[in-house]
Amino acid sequence: MVYTKLLNSSLVPSLGLLTSCAKTHGEPFVYTNLTGEIIGVNAIFLSFFGVRSIEEIPKMEKWLHLQGVELSFFLSRSGSYRGKVVFNTKTYDVAIRMEVITLGDEFILGIEFKDTSALERARVAERYFNKFKKKLLVNISHEFRTPMNAIIGFVDLLHSSPLSSWQQEYVDLAGKSAHSMMRNIENLLELMQVESGDVYATLREFNPLEVFEGFSNQFEELIAAKEIQWSVLIDPRLPFGIIGDQDKIMTVLRNLAQNALKFTPISGQILIEILIVKQQSDILEVEYAISDTGVGIDESRMKTLLRPFSSAWENQQHGQDGMGVGLALSHKFIDMMESHLMLASEVGRGSRFSFRLSHSISNTTVLKPIEGKRVAIYSHEPHSTQSVLLEKYFDLFALDKITVSSLVNIQLAQCDVIVVDIPHLSTSQVDSLKETYPHLQIVAVLDANDKERAKSLRKIIEAVVLSPLLPTSLHKTLSMLEKTASSDGTVVAREEPEVQEGIKNAKILVAEDNPINLRLLETILKQHDFRVTVVENGQKAVDVYLKESFDLVLMDIDMPVMDGLTANRLIKEIDKRDGRGYVPVIALTAHALIGDRERILSAGLDAHLAKPIDKNFLLQTIDRYLKMVAQKRKFFSI
């Protein structure tokens, strides 16, 4: 049934048409003239808005409110709109579709309303759920990371303590379980973030050599436990500043490395390669690859490999940990960075995961060329991975190099340096080399765990390089080996400027509100001869900083009284006001979800370390920043 008003006698012949049209609509429907006066409505309209007759309906301008649309504009054309209707103090969310109908010389507007209240309620619920989910993710991340930092940290301290064999075994097992749990939680939380649609590629400048070399040293304990040969080839031609999503690249590399370590048997090999494959003007294309000699992947499994949780059951069947989300997360991150994850694998022989990314160059500085040296390479295994890597590094350095198969070789007379890759380089071998080739400078390559032997060798040869081979340490070593004659005419290596003592006794301020984590940090730092002052909130950190000078600050972010971001800002202002020079402030925080690092660094902190803190990485970071402080102080004192 349709109800109409007779506003113009010329419309009488057309009322039958209006009635026919109105009956075909299963939604509330109204006809108006161009001034907004109601001509007709269908029965559904009256029922929907709770009115008894058409006469009770006022002009549209009194009850129709469209978001950002004037009524005159709305009445002048056809279209679809979304807005609100207020009838008898009750508000309705509606979608509106309108058509202009010509009846003789008159223009009539046919307007259909569709109730979207349920949809709007669903959208409100979805927005609430998304906010709740974000808050839940943040809370879960924070509340897991804070205690796990203490568990992993103190287990690590126990590991380096004098223990019986069975106690050492228990500590090892506890440490492995804690690390496994933390990896699973991290991957799951990041995957949930990605699935929520709130994660995007975030491009920032970073130093690839610094970042990737730091990454290569993060798996020392796992590598040592499985006696894995861990090799790294990082292109020394990489500039000091490129643009990319550092956090996502590192997450992908970490997941791929952890998978390689998991599925590579004892005494196997893993190779990390980060190489420039193309350069055009200020754009680099870099290939990232991780290869292993593990169990390999069957072709039938490759189709489901990137699905979340697809490998969880298989991991359980083979006694491996993991929820099967690491590869899925890596795939999504690489896709965000507009690339593809590639896989080559053979069952029983191993796998190679790789991806390529394009980076803009932001800092064109590179490692300086090493000129005027001819280098010989001697390895006890001529075709070993280590020997091949040395050759590749020296090719990338554009060095004049040769490979010799014996330490007695006429070609050594024309060389300046010999790099010796022998597990047990003896004193007699060194003496023989020096006697036969007095001008030849000797560099030994040793395993990272052979630090005691490295210390003794440094007394009788020019330099020692510890594996994994890294471009910065190789470059630094070869650059130091300049020909300088001593008083007795022998050739000696230029010594590195001594800054270690100042670093070793550096004064560090630690702000952390969790007493267990505070004790952990204090213990680690004091074990390495740092002078440590600890406080439990940002306000006390600022108060202490006003009274004393420090070389470095470790700052938690979430603290009572004053948070770490505010405390950092005030500390930087004190430095500027008092002319204290550069004092790095490093965030140690449980804020480690995607985007947290960018947020914290953009607030002015110098570095971001996520809990649980890796002790070795913490010490490496402190060492790097203290060296920067020492160099700047030395520069300004000249």
Q: In what order do the strands lie in the sheet with 106-115?
A: 2-4, 38-42, 29-32, 106-115, 90-103, 79-87, 64-66
CB 64 within 8 A of CB 81: no
Do 396 and 351 have their domain in common?
A: no
If one compares 62 and 258, the residue with the highest pLDDT of the two is 258
Instruction: Flag whether 176 is in a domain.
Output: no
Cβ atoms within 10 Å of 543's Cβ, excluding its own: 14
Q: How far is CA 637 from the centre of its chain?
A: 37
Q: Please state, in angstroms and rounded to a whole number, the distance separating the CA atoms of residues 432 and 424.
A: 15
Cβ-proximal residues to 209 (8 Å cutoff; 6+ apart), any chain: 234, 236, 238, 240, 367, 471, 472
> DSSP labels for 170-234?
HHHHHHHHHHHHHHHHHHHHHHHHHHTT------EEE-HHHHHHHHHTTTHHHHHHHT-EEEEEE
Range from 178-187, 311-320, 353-362, 363-372 carrying the lowest mean pLDDT: 311-320
Q: What is the DSSP string of 20-41?
A: HHHHT-SS-EEEE-TTS-EEEE
What is the mean pLDDT of the segment spanning 195-212?
A: 85
Give the end of a domain, one of 496, 523, 553.
Answer: 496
Using 50, 70 and 90 to split pLDDT, how confident is the model at 143? confident
CB proximity list for 335: less than 8 A, separation 6 or greater: none
Token pair listed for 266: 């004892």
Tens-place pLDDT, residues 255-312:
999 889 888 988 899 999 999 999 988 999 999 999 999 988 887 777 777 766 555 4
> Is residue 152 assigned to a domain?
no
> What's the CA gap between 540 and 548, in Å, rounded?
12
State whether 355 and 385 are in the same domain: no
Q: How far is CA 196 from the centre of its chain?
A: 18
Q: What pLDDT, on the 0 to 100 scale, is given for residue 565?
A: 95
pLDDT band at 69 (very low <50, low <70, confident <90, very high): low
Confidence of residue 566 (pLDDT cuts 50, 70, 90): very high
Query: pLDDT: is 367 or 127 the higher one?
Result: 367
Judgement on whether residues 239 and 304 belong to the same structural domain of the protein: yes
Round to whole Å and give the CA distance between 269 and 555: 38
Q: Report how far residue 68's alpha carbon sits from residue 70's, in angstroms, rounded to the nearest whole number.
A: 7
Structure tokens at 538: 């940002």
Q: Based on the number of CB atoms within 10 Å of its own CB, is 280 exposed (0-12), middle (13-18) or buried (19 or more)?
A: exposed
Residue 182 forms part of a structural domain: no
d(CA 464, CA 455): 9
Burial class of residue 356, CB neighbours in 10 A (0-12, 13-18, 19+): middle
Flag whether 142 is in a domain.
Answer: no
pLDDT digits (tens, 9 = 90+) for 306-351: 766 555 445 544 455 555 678 888 888 999 999 999 999 988 889 9
CB–CB of 464/493 below 8 Å? Answer: no
Q: Are residues 485 and 536 in the same domain?
A: no
pLDDT of residue 559: 93
Quote the CA–CA distance of 359 and 353 in Å, as a whole number.
20
Q: Is the pLDDT of residue 620 over 90?
A: no
Nearest to 625 by CA among 633, 615, 613: 633
pLDDT of residue 237: 95
Give the full edge-to-edge strand order of the sheet including 417-421.
400-404, 374-379, 417-421, 441-446, 463-466
346 and 389 share one domain = no
3-state DSSP assignment of residue 118: helix
Domain count within the chain: 4
Q: How far is CA 5 from CA 14, 85, 206, 261, in A?
A: 12, 22, 73, 81
The pLDDT of residue 616: 83
pLDDT for the residue numbered 208: 95
Last residue in a domain, options 115, 138, 161: 115
Q: Which of 599, 600, 595, 568 is nearest to 584 (CA)?
A: 568
pLDDT at residue 58 tops 70:
yes
Structural domain includes residue 122: no
Residue 29: pLDDT over 50: yes
Residue 492 has pLDDT above 50, yes or no: no
Domain encompassing residue 574:
501-637
Of 118-127, 210-219, 229-238, where does mean pLDDT reach its minimum?
118-127
DSSP class per residue in 505-535: T-EEEEE-S-HHHHHHHHHHHHHTT-EEEEE
Q: What is the pLDDT of residues 413-441, one digit of tens each?
A: 999 999 999 878 888 889 889 899 988 99
Q: What share of the chain is helix, strand, coil (3-state, %, to 5)?
A: 45, 25, 30
pLDDT in the model for residue 366: 92
- The separation between CA 241 and the C-alpha centre of its own chain, rounded to angstroms, equals 17
> To the nearest whole number, what is the mean pLDDT of the chain?
82
- Ranges of H-type helices in 318-359: 326-336
Domain-embedded: residue 184: no
Residues above pLDDT 90, as percent of the chain: 33
Residue 509 pLDDT greater than 90, yes or no: yes
Whether 357 and 430 map to the same domain: the answer is no
Res 219 pLDDT > 70:
yes
For residues 295 and 411, state if they share a domain: no
Residue 313: what pLDDT? Answer: 47
Quick one: pLDDT band at residue 516, thresholds 50, 70, 90?
very high
Confidence (pTM): 0.68
Q: Give the pLDDT confidence of 80-111 residue by residue, as tens digits.
A: 777 777 777 778 788 888 887 777 777 788 88
Mean pLDDT calculated for residue range 571-591 = 92
Q: Minimum mean pLDDT among 11-20, 223-232, 462-471, 479-488: which range?
A: 11-20
Reported as a pLDDT band with limits 50, 70 and 90, residue 148 is: confident
State the pLDDT at residue 551.
94
DSSP strand pairing (29-32 vs 79-87)? unpaired
Query: How far, rounded to the nearest angstrom, does the alpha carbon of residue 633 sit from its chain's CA centroid?
Result: 32
| Residue 340 and residue 216 share a domain | yes
Q: What is the dihedral of CA 162, 164, 169, 173, to 10 degrees?
A: -50
Whether 226 shows a pLDDT value over 60: the answer reads: yes
Co-location of 346 and 423 in the same domain: no
- How many whole angstroms separate alpha carbon 510 and alpha carbon 541? 8
- Both 318 and 441 in one domain: the answer is no
User: What pLDDT score does 16 carry?
Assistant: 46
Tokens of 389: 């890597």
- CATH number for 241: 3.30.565.10
Q: CATH number for the domain including 445?
A: 3.40.50.2300
193 found inside a domain: no
CB atoms within 10 A of CB 222: 16
Residue of higher predicted confidence among 316 and 196: 196
Looking at 219-357, list the stretches that DSSP marks H as alpha helix, in order from N- to C-terminal side.
Answer: 220-226, 246-263, 299-302, 312-317, 326-336
In 3D space, the residue among 30, 34, 126 whose CA is nearest the CA of residue 75 turns out to be: 34
The model's pLDDT over 540-555, given as tens digits with 9 standing for 90+, comes to: 999 999 999 999 999 9
> Mean pLDDT across the stretch 454-473?
88
Looking at residue 320, what is its pLDDT? 53
* 3-class secondary structure, 312: helix
CA distance 187 to 190: 5
| 221 against 465, higher pLDDT | 465
Q: Which residues contact 75 (CB under 8 A, 6 or more apart)?
A: 32, 34, 35, 36, 60, 109
* Residue that terminates a domain, selected from 341, 363, 385: 363
> Residues of 37-66 as b/e, b for ≥16 C-beta within 10 angstroms?
ebbbbbebbbebbeeeebeebeebeeebeb
pLDDT at 71 over 60: yes
Q: What is the CATH number of the domain that holds 58?
A: 3.30.450.20
Could you tell me if 438 and 355 lie in one domain? no
Q: Read off the DSSP letter of residue 273.
A: E
Higher pLDDT, 481 or 385: 385
The pLDDT, as a whole number, for residue 101 is: 78
Decide if 597 contacts 588 (C-beta within 8 A): no
The sign of the CA dihedral 382, 383, 385, 391 is: positive
Q: According to the model, what pLDDT value does residue 7 have?
A: 43
The verdict on 232 and 301 lying in the same domain is yes
The predicted model gives 474-484 an average pLDDT of: 76
